[in-house]
Amino acid sequence: MLTSCASWRNGQGVKQAGSMVDYLYPDAKTPPAMTPSVVQLKPPVRVGIAFVPGKGWGNGLPEAAQMKLLQRVRDSFSQHPYIGKIEIIPTQYMRPNGGFTNLEQVARMFDVEVVTLLSYDQVQFNDSDALSMLYWTIVGAYVIQGDRYDVQTMVDASVFDVKSHKLLFRAPGTSQIKGSATMAGLSEKTRDARTKGYEAAVDELIPRLQSELDSFRERIKNDSNYKIENKQGYKGGGAMGWISLALVAMLAGVAYAVRRRA
């Protein structure tokens, strides 16, 4: 009976990972040489968002869960006027170990200039306490919380300019979820904990990504490695935005004065 109970139990843990380095530099034996180049950004910038493909069948989040998280990241970008369309790139277009060749193919297919790659690393640890001895009974497997689990998750967003292959900025998010379960319910509870781990990590990632985006905008104003050239028809924000607001306020004041005089 002890042997049977042990065979039912999950292993010591589960690991899921999708590495940005493995995806972009699959054959690198040494760090890639960084050639100096001027990055040209043309607001409103067209952005793609995608999860890095994991290694092995079934590694990582299901496609539906990935799309849900990607939509949340997309919504955090969409509030900025200097960002144009934002395309969510399904995982099936991302080839494992595809490198920048695959990234460029995807960028052309979805007509984007900048791609945000979400890499991830999640580890689930399983442990058992003394109550596991009560698994000797079938009823105990359903009512005794003898299994403990700890799910640690990291999601990292790295924003790349596709043409120059340059990393513009990045932001991480982490989470840790602990709990316990019966032997019969361990699989379901840990699967739910892994999903919540990704969601919590993205909760932490989004405000950090916003902060890094704001810092990047300020940094490139005085950086000769970046050239900003607005697309035709785009007037930009910043000072012009404040001028427009001032003009609107002035016109509203004039209209109010005219109405009072009338």
The domains of the chain are located at 2-231, 232-262
pLDDT at residue 4 is higher than 50: no
The residue written with tokens 């760090």 in the block is 31
Q: Which of 82-86, 125-129, 190-194, 231-235 has the lowest mean pLDDT?
A: 125-129
pTM of the model: 0.77
* Rounded Cα distance, 15 and 62, in Å: 15
pLDDT higher at 221 or 37: 221
188 — pLDDT class (breaks 50, 70, 90): confident
pLDDT of residue 234: 76
Mean pLDDT of 202-225: 92
pLDDT at residue 2 is higher than 50: no
Average model confidence (pLDDT) across the chain:
78
pLDDT of residue 70: 92
**8 Å CB contact between 119 and 145:** no
pLDDT of residue 100: 94
pLDDT of residue 33: 61
**8 Å CB contact between 191 and 144:** no
pLDDT of residue 62: 78
pLDDT of residue 190: 83
The model's pLDDT over 50-107, given as tens digits with 9 standing for 90+, comes to 999 886 545 567 788 889 999 988 988 877 888 889 999 998 899 999 999 999 999 9
* Per-residue CA distances from 32 to 22, 24, 236 (Å): 13, 10, 35
Cis peptide leading into 44, omega within 30 of 0? yes
Mean pLDDT of 171-181: 89
CA triplet 199, 194, 146: central angle to 5 degrees?
135
